[in-house]
A and B are shown apart, each in its own frame.
Chain A
Amino acid sequence: MPALSIHSLTKKYDSHPRVVAISFDVPRGVICGFVGPNGSGKTTTMRMLLGLVKPSSGSAEILGCPLTEPSSYLAKVGAMIEGPAFYPKLSAHKNLQYLQRVSGARVDHGSIEEALARVGLAGRGQENYRGFSLGMKQRLGIAAALMSAPELLILDEPTNGLDPVGAREIRELIIELAQQGFTIFISSHLLEELELMCDYFVMIDAGRIAFVGSARTLRSTQEQTLVVQPEYDVDLSLLVHLALNQGYLTRVENEYLQIFQTRDQGAEFNRLASEAGITLKHLQITTPSLAQIFFKAQRE
C-alpha cells in the first residue's frame, strides 16, 4: 500500500484551475521530491493532502485512509507547510508543549528537549519564538513535525532560510529519518538539494503532473552528452566526421567535441576513434542535473 495515492485530484479557485486532475502514488519509505516552479500547485496539493483545503474533485488515500477523513490519518502525519507558524510570545519549548497538549499527548518535557536537540536547537528552548532567526524558525517547524513520531512527513520548503551548514544538517536529518522507515514528501525550489537526498520524484508544472517515478528512472529517460577531446587538436575535425557518420548530433566547443543524445555509447565511440587512429585525451559522459531536466520539461 503506497503512502500516498492520489487520483484525479483537482482544485479550482473561481473556475481557475490551480491543480488539474493530478494522479500519482508515492511508495512507502522513500524521500519523494515534489518539484515545480512557483505557482505550479505544490503547496495547494500539500494543503489538500492535509485536509486544510477541500479539493474540487478527485480522491486520495493517505496511509490507506481516505482524504475525506483527515482525523483518521493526521495523527500519523507530521507536516510543515507554508513555513513555520508559532506563537511569537511563547518560547520554543512552550510552543511545542502547546502542540503536545493539543494533540492529546501527555506533556513530556524530555521529548520536547529531544526534538529541539534533534534539529540543532538544544539549549534554545526557553527563548521566545519572536526572537528566532528564519533558520531557527524552520528548525522549530521541523521539530514540531517530528514530535508525534509520524509515519509520513510532509515538508514544504524545509530548508528555506537556512545557511548551507544548516541546510546540510536538515538534509542529513531527513535522510536519517528515511533510513528509519519514515516516508517523506518534500517540496523545494532548491533542485540541487532535492537531487542529493530524494530517491523518488513527482514533477508538477502549471497544475499538471510532468513526471512521476524513481530518480533512477528519471535519469535513465534522459539522454546523455558525450564530451570528447582528441590528443591532437588537428584530429578534432576528423572526430566530428566520425560522429556525423554515425548519425549523432554534435557541437564543437573550444577543443572539445560534444555529442548529444547518446546513451552509454562512450565505449563505442572510443573504439571508433581508436580504429580511426585518434587517441582521446578526454572522454566524459554527462547526465543532465535535475534542474536541467526540470527546465527542459518546462520548455516542452
Chain B
Amino acid sequence: MSGLLFSISWRVARGDLLKLRQPRLLVGVLVTLTIFTAAMNYVSFHKRSDQSLLAGYELSLSFFGVLVICLCASLTAQDFSQGTLRNLYLRAPHRLGIMCGKFLAAALFIFTLNVYLVALSLICAHLHGESFANHSLAAIAQEALRGFLGNCALGVIGGALGFIFASAVIAIGVGLLWSLVIESVLTASEPRIAPWLPIVNCINLAQSSQKGLAHMTLVHSASVTAGYLALILAIGFVIFSRSEIS
C-alpha cells in the first residue's frame, strides 16, 4: 500500500515538476525573487553592520512565503478549475497519492528556489565586501534549512487551501487575506494570541533572527506549525476524497 502511495506520489510529483519548470513561470519567479532579494540585501547591509551573511535572505523570506502560498494554492487548485484533475486521476487513481505528489513537487520547487535565494544572498554579501571567515558553514546551512522548512509549511497551507476551495482565485485570496491582513490585525489587537497563529509560527520557524517574538522558541513554532499543518491537511484530504472529480 505504502509502495503504491509512494509510486503514485512520485509520478504525480514528476509530472507537476514539468509544469513548474515551464520557462515563463520559472523565469518570472526567479526575476521577481532576484529583484526583491537583491533589494533586501542592499537595504540590510546599508542599515546594519552586525548581522549574518544571510540577513538579506531572511528579510526576503516573508515575501518568498507569500509567493509560495500563491504558487502552491494555484498548483493544486488549477487542476480543479481547468478540468485537468480528471486526466490526473485517470492515470494516478489514488487521491492521497495525488495530494502527496503535489506537495512533494512543491517541496522540491521550494527547495530549489531556497537554494537560489541563499546563493543570491551570499553573492550579494560577497559583493558588499562581507567576510565569509567570521561565519560558519553550519550556521549558514541551519538558517537555510529553517527558511526551507518554514516555507514548506507555508506551501502546505497554500496547497491545502487549493484542495479545500478547488479554485485558485479563492484559495490565493483566502491565503493572502489570512496571512497579510487577518493575522496582522489579530497580532496587533491581541498580542497574546500571536504565538498561536499559523503564519506567525511558520515565519518564526523560517527566520532565526525574527525580532519581537523572542518568547516563541523554535520547538514551540515547530509544534504549533505541525499541529496546524496536520489539521489543514486532514481537512483538505477529507474534502478532496469526498469530492467528485469533474
Contact B244 A99 (CB under 8 A): no
Which B residues are in CB contact (< 8 Å) with A85? 82-84, 86-87
**Which of A53, A89, A102 meets B12, CB within 8 Å?**
A102
Interface stretch of the complex, out of A26-34, A75-83, A194-202, A214-222: A75-83
Which B residues are in CB contact (< 8 Å) with A88? 82
A299–B5 alpha-carbon span in the complex (Å):
50
Contact B18 A98 (CB under 8 A): yes
**Which of B4, B7, B11, B244 meets A52, CB within 8 Å?**
B244
Smallest Cβ-Cβ distance to A141: which chain B residue: B87
> Is A101 an interface residue, CB under 8 A from the partner?
yes
> Is B126 an interface residue, CB under 8 A from the partner?
no
**Min CB gap A89→B, angstroms:** 6
Given contacts A52-B246, A104-B7, contact A144 B87 (CB under 8 A): yes
Contact A74 B91 (CB under 8 A): yes
Contact B92 A103 (CB under 8 A): yes
Interface of B is mostly: helix
| Per-position 1/0 for A62-106, Cβ under 8 A of B | 000000001100100101011101111110001001110111100
Smallest Cβ-Cβ distance to B101: which chain A residue: A102
Given contacts A52-B246, A101-B15, A101-B18, contact A89 B24 (CB under 8 A): yes
Which B residues are in CB contact (< 8 Å) with A104? 7-8, 11, 91-92
> Is B128 an interface residue, CB under 8 A from the partner?
no
| Per-position 1/0 for A155-193, Cβ under 8 A of B | 000000000000000000000000000000000000000
Given contacts A87-B19, A98-B18, contact A103 B86 (CB under 8 A): no
**Which of B11, B82, B246 meets A103, CB within 8 Å?**
B11
Interface hub of B15, B87, B244 (most chain A Cβ within 10 A)? B87
> Is B90 an interface residue, CB under 8 A from the partner?
yes
For this complex, 22 residue pairs linking A to B, each with C-beta atoms less than 8 Å apart, are: A50-B86, A50-B90, A53-B244, A70-B93, A71-B93, A74-B91, A77-B90, A82-B86, A85-B87, A86-B82, A98-B15, A98-B18, A99-B15, A99-B91, A101-B14, A102-B12, A102-B14, A102-B15, A102-B91, A103-B11, A103-B91, A104-B91
Contact A79 B90 (CB under 8 A): yes
Given contacts A53-B244, A71-B93, contact A87 B82 (CB under 8 A): yes
Smallest Cβ-Cβ distance to B82: which chain A residue: A85
Given contacts A52-B245, A85-B82, A89-B22, contact A101 B11 (CB under 8 A): yes
> Is A2 an interface residue, CB under 8 A from the partner?
no
Contact A83 B89 (CB under 8 A): no
Chain B: residues with Cβ within 8 Å of the partner, total of 27
Q: Which 5 pairs across A and B sit closest by C-beta, in order of nearness?
A: A85-B83, A103-B91, A102-B15, A52-B245, A70-B93
Which B residues are in CB contact (< 8 Å) with A144? 87
**Min CB gap A226→B, angstroms:** 49
Interface residues of B (CB under 8 A from A): 4, 7-8, 11-12, 14-15, 18-19, 22, 24-25, 82-84, 86-94, 244-246
**Min CB gap B11→A, angstroms:** 5
Smallest Cβ-Cβ distance to A148: which chain B residue: B91
Interface hub of A82, A102, A103 (most chain B Cβ within 10 A)? A102
Smallest Cβ-Cβ distance to A70: which chain B residue: B93
**Which of B19, B25, B83, B94 meets A98, CB within 8 Å?**
B19
Q: A50-B90, A89-B24 are in contact. List 5 more A-B contacts (CB 8 A).
A: A47-B245, A50-B86, A71-B4, A90-B19, A101-B18
A118–B88 alpha-carbon span in the complex (Å):
22
> Is A17 an interface residue, CB under 8 A from the partner?
no
A71–B91 alpha-carbon span in the complex (Å):
9
A224–B145 alpha-carbon span in the complex (Å):
80
A86–B94 alpha-carbon span in the complex (Å):
20
**Min CB gap A91→B, angstroms:** 9
Contact B11 A102 (CB under 8 A): yes
Given contacts A52-B245, A53-B244, A71-B94, contact A99 B87 (CB under 8 A): yes
Which B residues are in CB contact (< 8 Å) with A87? 19, 82, 84
> Is A51 an interface residue, CB under 8 A from the partner?
yes
A101–B11 alpha-carbon span in the complex (Å):
6
